[in-house]
Amino acid sequence: MKDTIAAIATPPGIGGVAIIRISGSNALSVLKRVFSHKNEYEHAQMQHGWVCDGGNMLDNGYAVMFYAPRSYTGEDVAELHIHGSAAGTARVLGAVTENGARLAQPGEFSRRAFLNGKMDLTQAEAVCDYIAATSEAAAKASVRQMEGRLKEALQACQDRLTDVLAEVEAAVEYPEEDLEQEITTDAVPVLQGVKKEIDHLEETFVQGRIMKEGFGVVIAGAPNVGKSSLMNALCNVERSIVSGTPGTTRDTVEKSINLNGISINLMDTAGIRKTEDLIEIDGVKRAKNATKAAELMIFLMDVSRETSLESSEAYRSVKNNTDDVLVVFNKKDLFEGKLEKQPEVEFIMVSARTGEGIEELKERIYGRAVQGGAGEGVVITNERHSALLKKASGHLGDALAALGAGMDMDCVTIDLNLAWSALGEITGNTVSEDIIDRIFSKFCLGK
């Protein structure tokens, strides 16, 4: 485990600078073998020089040492800052691995940082999420997690459980003291409080998933109502083919836009109608499936032709596919009258052609996307964390039920320990080796 590892930490390709990172107890000696500066390296002080392999000059640049434990991994870390040449960087990495380091596995630097106590699992996972973030909201959520806010919240819950466990174990230890009643009275509100907090954290996952993966919006409706035109108006680009011929869009067409830092994943679909055309039949099937998968369905109508949802056959065929529907009446520019109220649904009138109402529509979509709050506090963004929080909450529920039913304190101890371990699996203090392997193997190389 404690051998010295190396990898290119910057993305592959051409760039001004590339960084090769070396971590482990031999980092300094490897560095001195490949870099022309042979004297002292002060902590975090750049040295200029040449990278050499035997007598060959490979590149010039800077080298820097971070000494244990004041480095990312907690070990001695050397970095070579060289030119971002794809071929040149590979040669320098080759020299490094021939002089005492081996190639790192994906995530191995972060794995060592975790094992050396530089960060807990939630922080390591946040580093990975931050690198992968494609929206501002996702970046913000992972920064909060990198800071350790989730770790702290979980540790506080674990500490409260530890206190209760100590009391309960005392009751098991000294049954003659008749402590049980007293302990039950004290423990119940504490456990209820912890459970509430855990449940609350878990509920933020709905929002966290949207921050991380975006909010899926499908545009559905009958042919020719302007779905593709609306898609283009929302994206500000001609993403979908618009045509007066019904049945033009057959496949689903996707494009993401950014609304106030949240990714909105739009999907244009084939118009829903009965048809004999085999390709179109498949398109209609895909459209219907898409309405099931999306978080929000925009059901689009052509207001110059139809002003009531009730009579829309297409609407009837998809309205039960999703919980969240926004009805949009398009082609407002062709409509003079006033719309009657539609029963039980939110609706808005727009013109994809003139752009009227499009900004308001975007606001409504954003409002739906951040329904659970814009996520300013700690937000769960990881499926693994969500599953373990549910597990912890379940065990706490069992413990409370056991206390309520006056069951043996032994049973309560078991449930509380299980809840404690589930929380520990999130932060990494009770996690098994193979789970650690699985988590870090998803990291990118060089991180």
Provide the binding-site residues for ligand GDP, judged by CB under 6 A.
223-229, 242-244, 248-249, 271, 330-331, 333-334, 351-353
Q: Minimum CB separation from Mg ion for residue 268, in Å?
A: 6
Token output for 171 = 């009751």
Residues 6+ apart with CB under 8 A from 216: 265, 267, 293, 294, 295, 296
DSSP-derived letter for residue 6 is: E
Q: Which helix (H) or strand (E) holds 189?
A: helix 180-213
Residue 224 near which of Mg ion, ligand GDP, none (CB within 5-8 Å, type-dependent): ligand GDP
DSSP-derived letter for residue 35 is: B
Q: Does 228 bind Mg ion (CB under 5 A)?
A: yes
Q: Does 71 bind Mg ion (CB under 5 A)?
A: no
Query: Cα–Cα distance between 247 and 276 in angstroms, integer?
Result: 11
Residue 101 or 266: the one with the smaller Cβ distance to ligand GDP is 266
Token output for 424 = 């520990």
Query: Cα–Cα distance between 51 and 34 in angstroms, integer?
Result: 6
Residue 228 or 427: the one with the smaller Cβ distance to ligand GDP is 228
Q: Minimum CB separation from ligand GDP for residue 358, in Å?
A: 10
Q: Which x/- pattern over 235-274 shows residues binding Mg ion (rule: CB under 5 A)?
A: --------------x-------------------------
Report which residue type is found at 417. Answer: N
Q: Which stretch binds Mg ion (CB under 5 A): 144-152, 182-190, 226-234, 254-262?
A: 226-234
Q: Does 330 bind Mg ion (CB under 5 A)?
A: no
Residue 243 near which of Mg ion, ligand GDP, none (CB within 5-8 Å, type-dependent): ligand GDP
Q: Do strands 102-103 and 5-8 pair parallel, antiparallel, or not at all (unpaired)? A: parallel
Residues 6+ apart with CB under 8 A from 166: none
Q: Minimum CB separation from Mg ion for residue 226, in Å?
A: 8
Q: Minimum CB separation from Mg ion for residue 299, in Å?
A: 14
Residue 183 or 298: the one with the smaller Cβ distance to Mg ion is 298
Q: Which stretch binds Mg ion (CB under 5 A): 196-204, 221-229, 311-319, 391-399?
A: 221-229
Report which residue type is found at 372. Answer: G
Q: Which stretch binds Mg ion (CB under 5 A): 31-39, 159-167, 224-232, 379-387?
A: 224-232
CB atoms within 10 A of CB 301: 26
**DSSP H stretches of helix in 66-105:** 86-98
Give the N- to C-terminal CA distance of the chain in Å, as an integer.
17
Residue 352 near which of Mg ion, ligand GDP, none (CB within 5-8 Å, type-dependent): ligand GDP
Sites of contact with Mg ion (CB under 5 A): 227-228, 249
